[in-house]
Each structure stands twice: as C-alpha cells, then as structure tokens.
Amino acid sequence: MSIAPLRERPAWRALERHYTEIRDVHLRDLFADDPARGERLAAEGASLYLDYSKNRVTDETLRLLVQLAEESGLPERTEAMFRGDRINVSENRSVLHVALRLPKGKSLVVDGRDVVQDVHGVLDRMAKFADRVRSGEWKGHTGKPIANVVNIGIGGSDLGPVMAYEALRHYSRRDLTFRFVSNVDSADFVEATGDLSADETLFVVASKTFTTLETMTNARTAREWALAALDDESAIAKHFVAVSTNAEAVAAFGIDPANMFGFWDWVGGRYSLASAIGLSTMIAVGPDRFRELLAGFHALDEHFRETPLERNLPALHGLLCVWYASFFGAETVGVMPYSHYLKRLPAYLQQLTMESNGKQVTLDGRPVDYETGAVFWGEPGTNGQHSFFQLLHQGTRLIPVDLIGFAKPLEPIRDHHDLLMSNVFAQAEALAFGRSEDEVRSEEVDEQIVPHRVFEGNRPTNVLLAEQLTPHTLGALVAFYEHSVFTQGTVWEIDSFDQWGVELGKVLAQRIVPELESEAVPELAHDSSTNALIRRYRAMR
Ligand code: F6P
C-alpha cells in the first residue's frame, strides 16, 4: 500500500479545515448538546475503561482521525508488526515485543524460527531461577540465601524493572530487598548497596547490548564491591547473573553463560519489560504473577490487533495525541497515575514515548513538516495537584492530561481511596468545565479578584479506569501506551523503534573522558565554551 505524505492525505486536509471550525468550541457546549456524551465517548478492552469524552472532539473529528489512521496504513502496519516484518527500517529489524507476550502453544515463525518457543524457553529458565532465589535454594558464596537483589541497568534495562517493581510491590516478597542502580554517578551505587551484605546480594546486570557505559561501569564497581567482601573470584558465579542479547560480552565480563538470560534484537530496550529484562520483577512477584503480567500485555495486544479503530483504546489515544500535537500545537502531555504504586510510570513513559517518537525525519528520510512526539511528563496524584496543576488549570498552554485510577484500593484504610478517586473525577471535571465569571461573582467575591478566580476550562483529559492494580492490569496499561505510541508514529510516518538521537552525546563523552582523566594538561580542540568548562572542571576538582 502506498502512503501519501501526511499533509497530502485527504483526512489530514479535512482535519486542517475541521480544526479551524472546532478550535474554539467549548467542552461545556459539547456536553450540553449531547447528554449521552460521557457514556458514548468511552471504550473498553483488556480490563481498561477509557473515558475520552472530555477531549475537544466531535463525532466528525473522531471520524476524520480514524480515516487518517486508515489512510496512514495503521491496520496494515499493525499486521506487519505482529507478523515480524522489519518495520524498524533504520536498524533493519523486526519489532516483536508482542511476541514476548504470546501464550505457550502459539507459534510465530520469523526467519524460519518459532520465536514463541524461544521466548518460553527463556521464561521457563527465568522461572526456575526465580523460584530458586525465592525459596532460598540458590545460595550465595558463603552458603547464605539471597536477601537482596540489585538490578544494574539503564534506560529500558532499568525503567521497566524499577517501574514494574514499584507498581507490583503489593505483590512482592517483603523479606527480599530490591534496589536499582542506573546512574554512572557513583552515589547511585553507594546509596543502593551501602546497607547490604555482599554474601546475601545478587546482582542482575541487565543490558541488551552489554556495552552501555553506565551499566558496565556500575557492573565493574559491583564486582569489586563483591570481591572486596568475598575475596574469591569463584563467588562471582553465585552473585552475578546477566540479562542480555550479547553472550560474548557477558562471558568476557566473567559471568557464566549458564547464568545468562537472553533475548533478541527484535526487542527494543524500551519495549523489553516482558523479556528477560523483567527478571528482577519475576523474582520480586514470582513466576505466576509475572505470567499474569504477560497475559495482561497480551490481552491488550489482542485488543489492539482486533478491535475496530472506533473502539480501539490505544488507537484512539494515539490519534488524540496526534490531534493535540499536530493541530493544537500542544507540546506536552501529562500522565498522572492516581496510584502511588505507579509513581515511576511517568518516568517509564517518558522513555517509551519520547525515545520512540522524538524524530524529525520520515521512514524514508525526508524531514517532517509537522510536529511529532510531545514531551510526556507527570507525577502521581494527588501530589501534582498541590504543585504544577495550577498551570494546567489557569496557565496559557494547552496540556492534555491522562488521569489513571483504580476502583479498588490495594491497601484499603479508612476512606483514603474514595478521597483519592474523588480527585480524579474532580480534576477532569474542573479542567473541562472550569468556572465562569458569573459563577465566581455569584460567590460575592471582590470584583478585583474575579479574573484571578476564573477557570476558563476546555482543557482535555482522558480518564483511564481499571478495577484494581494487578499484574494483569499493569501489563495492559503498558501495552496501551506502547500501541498508542505506535499509532502516533504510524500517522507521522516515523521510525518509532530506533534511537539514533542518543548517539552523539555518547560519542562526544567518550572523546572527553581522556581529557578529564589525563595527568598532563590536554590540548583541547572543542568550541571555546566546552574548552573553558573542561579547564574550569580540572581546576576546581
Ligand atoms: O542510550 C539509549 C539506550 O540504548 C536505550 O535505548 C536503552 O534502553 C538503554 O540505552 C540501555 O541499553 P542497554 O540495555 O543496551 O544497556
């Protein structure tokens, strides 16, 4: 199927015209004109309920956005992804994180191999290992069971594990301590390990490439830290396991390949939570709960693949992101989970969304002439309400917000949960409908204060509800955002699966390292600012 450049697609042109008609329409009027709107503009699937009625859209907007998805080849590209086609064109790779979640017994043959068998082979090994650690059968060098698990990784090899660990903490083994070290700043390692005994600590070195500077530096420091206490090279086999696609580098580091859990180049770092990168999560919650997580991912994968776009949760969400970014010029999207367990979800979603869709050229290398991925950010509710929500309500920028809530609390105490959830509904209501001048005046406010107390409203939200935060719901929630990102990338015709933008900084840092470390004063050939900063650093330290 040949796809026209975005601006030439009929639906895009129609949306440009439509935008001029709708940009000033207020949500108050949209709701007043259609009493059923709140129930009509909602969709359900894979245990998630999405209320998207408080978006600045009409039925016509939605019809055109769906048409845009079709003209952009979303159904065909979705099939191509699920089939294992090399849709990551700039790296010439398949994009098969969805295969990580296929149940045992299914089959997906890519390049002559049934990848589902490979996936379950690794999952079974992980489960055996996780059970041995959890039961105390796996012993450290001095014969003590493992009490602490430290995941060393960065980016997708950190954010997935730490986000999922925090999210599923309710289900995790409380007698095991979990820590996550990512930053090359030594403070991260020191603070994570300062109170741990080496003979009870297991390091999971998680790196797809096993070459990442931060992870390799922290892994070497961990090795020294362990050896300083255990004083025997053979202890490494008991205290280090690796998760990687690079068996050679793992062996070169000194980790027994028997203690390596593999995955494949068709799993992007930020899409790797469901792979062996989830090992620390599996140790924390156990193999059965981890399989529930995979089932949640899979349920949403199936929903995305099979549901018509009009009722397809991630497709609708992705199209709304396009609508605000490309037409309203919204530069950011806020994601506010009203669950303290999801406190690392915004950080996780930042990598997922921004490393995926922060792109400036199309799949065939043409510069784009429209806005692509927005800045994603957020904090758990209700905390954010007492800091930056001011700007969401009365600032000059349009910031679409996702509010995520659960019907049943995991820790029911007094009326905490109703208080929490009342804020989800109240924020969505306040952002949409605001408070008019007349309403403010009716409260007999001093006339001078009236403008300060007006909320213009018309600020869009999506509310995502699920029954409870379970491994299954978490999997569905992550897959929801993954496929939303995919939908956006497909419309924008960009490669959501490469990340060349992270390379330049890495290369330049490697060049600067010897200039900082050398005893002799180095000859500097950077720009005058970089030269001056390096000289100042050398003088100050
Ligand atoms: O530098 C960016 C990045 O490549 C991410 O895409 C990735 O998740 C992270 O670094 C870590 O990479 P690795 O798992 O290979 O150590």
Q: Is the pLDDT of residue 293 over 80?
A: yes
Name the residue with the closest Cα to ligand 1, atom 16. 207
Report the pLDDT value the prediction gives residue 224, as an integer from 0 to 100: 98
Backbone angles phi, psi at 164, to 5 degrees: -70, -40
pLDDT (0 to 100) of residue 2: 85
By most ligand atoms within 8 Å of CB, the mutation choice from 151, 184, 209 for ligand 1 is 209
Give the pLDDT of residue 180. 98
Closest C-alpha residue for ligand 1 atom 5: 155
Tens of pLDDT, residue by residue over 210-243, are 999 999 999 999 999 999 999 999 999 999 999 9
94-139 pLDDT, tens per residue?
999 999 999 999 999 998 999 999 999 999 999 999 999 999 999 9
**Model pLDDT, residue 165:** 98
CB 219 within 8 A of CB 203: yes
Condensed to tens digits (0 to 9), the pLDDT of residues 346-404 reads 999 999 999 999 999 999 999 999 999 999 999 999 999 999 999 999 999 999 999 99
- DSSP annotation of 349 reads H
Mutate to test the pocket of ligand 1, among 180, 272, 351, 499 (most ligand atoms within 8 A of CB): 499
Residue whose CA is at the smallest distance from ligand 1 atom 10: 155
Write down the catalytic residue from 39, 386, 443, 517: 386
- Is residue 524 very low, low, confident or very high in pLDDT (cuts 50, 70, 90)? very high
Best CA proximity match to 240, nearest among 141, 174, 356:
141
What is the average per-residue pLDDT within 505-510?
A: 94
- For residues 483-505, give the mean pLDDT: 97
Decide if pLDDT at 1 tops 80.
no
Closest ligand 1 atom to Cα of 506: 1
How far is the centre of ligand 1, averaged over its atoms, from the C-alpha of 145 (Å)?
31
Ligand 1 atom closest to the CA of 214, numbered from 1: 16
Concatenating the DSSP letter of every residue in 200-250 gives: GEEEEEE-SSS--HHHHHHHHHHHHHHHHHH--GGGHHHHEEEEES-HHHH
Whole-structure pTM value? 0.97
Ligand 1 binding residues, C-beta < 6 A: 154-157, 207-209, 212, 215, 269-270, 355, 499, 502
The pLDDT of residue 356 is: 98
139 tagged catalytic: no
Q: Say how many Å lie between the CA of residue 33 and the centre of ligand 1.
A: 49
Q: Which atom of ligand 1 approaches the CA of 206 most closely?
A: 14
Distance, CA 385 to ligand 1 centroid (Å)?
33
Residue of 71, 214, 355, 515 with catalytic role: 355
**In this model, does residue 516 exceed pLDDT 80?**
yes
Alpha carbon of 17 to ligand 1 centroid (Å): 41
DSSP letter for 50, please. E
514's tokens = 């010897």
Which among 90, 211, 212 is the best mutation to test ligand 1's pocket, defined by most ligand atoms within 8 Å of the CB? Answer: 212
Query: Residues 237, 239, 245, 250: is their CA dihedral positive or negative?
Result: negative
How confident is the prediction for the chain on average, in pLDDT? 97
> In which band, very low, low, confident or very high, does the pLDDT at 59 lie, cut at 50, 70 and 90?
very high
**Does the annotation mark 141 as catalytic?**
no
- How many angstroms separate the alpha carbon of residue 86 from the centre of ligand 1? 20
pLDDT of residue 444: 87
Q: Which residues pair with 367 in a beta bridge?
A: 361
The two tokens of residue 343 are: 């406190």
**Which residue among 128, 416, 452, 506 is the active-site one?**
506
Distance CA 410, CA 167 (A): 11
**Whose structure tokens read 């924020």?**
427
Tell me how far the alpha carbon of residue 269 lies from the centroid of ligand 1, in angstroms.
6
> pLDDT for 453-472, tens place per residue?
999 999 999 999 999 999 99
Residue 416 to residues 100, 167, 446, Cα–Cα distance (Å):
37, 18, 35
Q: What angle do CA 212, 210, 494 make, to 5 degrees?
A: 65
Place of tokens 């090795």: 223
Q: Other CB atoms closer than 10 Å to residue 207's CB: what's the count?
A: 29
The atom number, within ligand 1, closest to the CA of 503 reads: 1
Q: What is the DSSP string of 419-471?
A: HHHHHHHHHHHHHHH-B-HHHHHTTT--GGGHHHH-B-----EEEEEES---H
Q: Which atom of ligand 1 is nearest to the CA of 159?
A: 8
Q: Find the 24 Cα to ligand 1 centroid distance in Å.
A: 42
- Counts for the chain of helices (H) and strands (E), in that order: 23, 13
Element (H, E) at 180: strand 177-181
**φ, ψ for residue 353 (rounded to 5)?**
-80, -45
Single-letter amino acid, residue 532? A
> What confidence tens digit (pLDDT) does each residue in 239-276 have?
999 999 999 999 999 998 899 999 999 999 999 999 99
User: What distance in angstroms lies between residue 202's CA and the mean position of ligand 1's atoms?
Assistant: 22
User: Looking at ligand 1, which atom is closest to the CA of residue 270?
Assistant: 8
